[in-house]
């Protein structure tokens, strides 16, 4: 069965000063999906998103957004939170949200009512009449996000929406993204914070150096790395390191190593026979963070830090 796509892009290229900062990116975003564009700083995420929306034109390649080859022509059906945030400081929150909706063709009165409803649903029910200048940075960011979805767009693009938010506002934003998806929207967001992508994304791609390095589900990404074992012996002494696989490392909670290809049963027998026992054992897939590091390369991630 072929899935209906909200967005399709092939071979997108963008050059700045002769440098290909986006170098042949392909993307397919299924309708109704939450899709993550992951990558280190400077990977080309923002440039890619801008091309997808028609804010800048690609030097090569093409894209189709909600069936249109001219994304700007369907901008009333798109919600966009750009990387640069900005609201009028003297406006009340509900007016700022309504104003953004009015820019997308909604009428001011409907917008205001919807603005208040959206703020209540997002845990900001106390703030519709507060002036923007009185808000914390995180709250202002949420208000801007509400302004970008108040017209109920079918496609939503959020550029680094989680950056600068405290954990409570990050949680509010996650709930908001899920609520928009439940409403039927397709959401594409960029991030370099893996935890959000891991919880939210139906599919994701990883880009680095302007190229796509991975595309698939969170589970596909995590499956790139072998399972890891955490083993806690009863008696951690003497020859234990000689029995464990060569990559075993002692950590605070116990010994950690890659799950041997033949499984763990024989190893456990040897450990028990040698008198080390088992006080704790877990076998886990490494998380998306480890997969991301593997995909983009450790050096690139260290350069980001
Ligand atoms: N208008 C521009 N003119 C020249 N260079 C640009 C322009 N916009 C982006 N770049 C360069 O293109 C590269 C990719 O930038 P982009 O903002 O797309 O990356 P990003 O993945 O969004 O990074 P970040 O996570 O840091 O926001 C960077 O080296 C950036 O300096």
Domain spans of the chain? 5-222, 228-284
- The CA distance from 152 to 183, in Å, is 9
State if residue 41 touches ligand 1 by the CB under 6 angstroms criterion: yes
pLDDT, position 18: 86
Whole-number pLDDT of residue 303: 55
Residue whose CA is closest, atom 25 of ligand 1? 41
Write down the mean pLDDT value for the chain.
Answer: 90
- Per-residue pLDDT, 120: 92
Can you tell me which atom of ligand 1 is nearest the CA of 50?
A: 18
pLDDT of the residue at 72: 86
Structure confidence at residue 298 (pLDDT): 61
* Mean pLDDT, residues 245-250 taken together: 93
Residue 121 tokens, joined: 């649903």
- Say yes or no: CB of residue 303 within 6 Å of ligand 1: no
pLDDT above 60: residue 184: yes
In this predicted structure, what is the pLDDT of residue 122?
87
CA 46 – ligand 1 centroid, Å: 7
Which residue owns the Cα nearest ligand 1 atom 8? 47
Q: What is the pTM of this model?
A: 0.86
Instruction: Please report which confidence band the pLDDT of residue 70 belongs to, taking 50, 70 and 90 as the band edges.
Output: confident
pLDDT of residue 53: 94
Give residue 271's pLDDT.
94
State residue 85's pLDDT score: 73
CB of 14 closer than 6 angstroms to any ligand 1 atom: no
Instruction: Answer whether residue 301 shows pLDDT above 80.
Output: no
For the chain, the distance separating the N- and C-terminal CA atoms, rounded to the nearest angstrom, is 42
Residues 6+ apart with CB under 8 A from 105: 76, 151
Q: Residue 297: its pLDDT value, please?
A: 83
Whether the predicted interface score ipTM is above 0.85: yes
* CA 271 – CA 277 distance, rounded (Å): 6
pLDDT band for position 202 (cuts 50, 70, 90): very high
Q: How far is the CA of 123 from the centre of ligand 1 (A)?
A: 33
pLDDT at 154 over 90: yes
Per-residue pLDDT band at 302 (split at 50, 70, 90): low
CATH number corresponding to 5-222: 3.40.50.300
DSSP 12: E
At 15, list the tokens.
Answer: 């050059």
CB of 304 shorter than 6 A to ligand 1:
no
Backbone dihedral angles phi then psi of residue 6, each to the nearest 5 degrees: -85, -30
Torsion angle defined by CA atoms of residues 228, 233, 237 and 243, in that order, rounded to the nearest 10 degrees? -50
More confident residue, 80 or 112: 80
Task: Look at ligand 1, atom 29, and give the residue with the nearest C-alpha.
Answer: 42
Report, as an integer, the average pLDDT of 27-53: 94
Q: How confident is the model at residue 109 (pLDDT cuts 50, 70, 90)?
A: confident
What separation in Å is there between the alpha carbon of 16 and the centre of ligand 1?
9
Return the pLDDT at 233: 94
Burial class (CB in 10 A: 0-12, 13-18, 19+), 253: exposed
Residues 189-212 have a mean pLDDT of: 93
* Any ligand 1 atom below 6 A from CB of 58: no
Q: pLDDT band for position 27 (50/70/90)?
A: very high
**Band (137; pLDDT cuts 50, 70, 90):** confident
pLDDT at 3 over 90: no
Tokens 């041997």 correspond to 260
Residue 73 pLDDT level (bands cut at 50, 70, 90) = confident
Res 257 pLDDT > 60: yes
Who's near 163: CB < 8 A, 6+ residues apart? 191, 193
Q: Report the separation in Å between the CA atom of 134 and the middle of ligand 1, taken as the mean of its atom positions.
A: 31
What pLDDT shows up at residue 110? 78
> Which of 12, 13, 15, 16 most suits a substitution to test ligand 1, by most atoms within 8 Å of the C-beta?
16
How far, in Å, from the CA of 22 to the mean position of ligand 1? 9
8 A C-beta contact, residue 200 and residue 20: no
Place of tokens 């000689």: 242
CA 91 to ligand 1 center in whole angstroms: 31
């Amino acid at each position: 069965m072929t899935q209906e796509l909200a967005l399709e892009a092939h071979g997108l290229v963008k050059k700045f000063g002769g440098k290909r900062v986006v170098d042949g990116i392909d993307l397919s975003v299924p309708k109704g999906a939450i899709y993550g564009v992951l990558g280190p700083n400077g990977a080309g995420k923002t440039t890619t998103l801008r091309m997808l929306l028609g804010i800048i034109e690609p030097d090569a390649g093409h894209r189709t957004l909600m069936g249109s080859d001219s994304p700007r022509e369907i901008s009333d059906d798109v919600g966009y939170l750009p990387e640069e945030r900005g609201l009028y400081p003297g406006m009340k929150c509900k007016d700022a949200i309504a104003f953004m909706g009015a820019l997308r063709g909604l009428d001011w009165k409907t917008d205001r009512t919807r603005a208040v409803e959206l703020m209540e649903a997002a845990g900001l029910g106390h703030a519709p009449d507060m002036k923007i200048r009185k808000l914390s940075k995180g709250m202002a960011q949420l208000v801007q996000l509400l302004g970008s979805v108040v017209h109920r767009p079918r496609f939503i693009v959020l550029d680094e929406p989680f950056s600068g938010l405290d954990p409570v506002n990050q949680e509010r934003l996650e709930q908001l993204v899920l609520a928009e998806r439940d409403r039927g929207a397709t959401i594409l967001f960029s991030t370099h914070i893996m935890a959000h992508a891991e919880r939210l994304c139906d599919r994701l791609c990883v880009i680095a150096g302007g190229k796509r390095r991975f595309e698939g589900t969170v589970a596909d990404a995590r499956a790139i790395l072998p399972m890891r074992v955490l083993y806690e012996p009863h008696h951690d002494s003497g020859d234990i390191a000689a029995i464990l696989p060569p990559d075993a490392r002692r950590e605070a909670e116990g010994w950690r190593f890659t799950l041997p290809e033949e499984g763990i049963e024989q190893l456990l027998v040897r450990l028990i026979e040698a008198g080390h026992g088992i006080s704790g054992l877990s076998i886990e897939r490494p998380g998306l963070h480890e997969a991301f590091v593997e995909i983009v390369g450790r050096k690139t991630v260290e350069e980001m830090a």
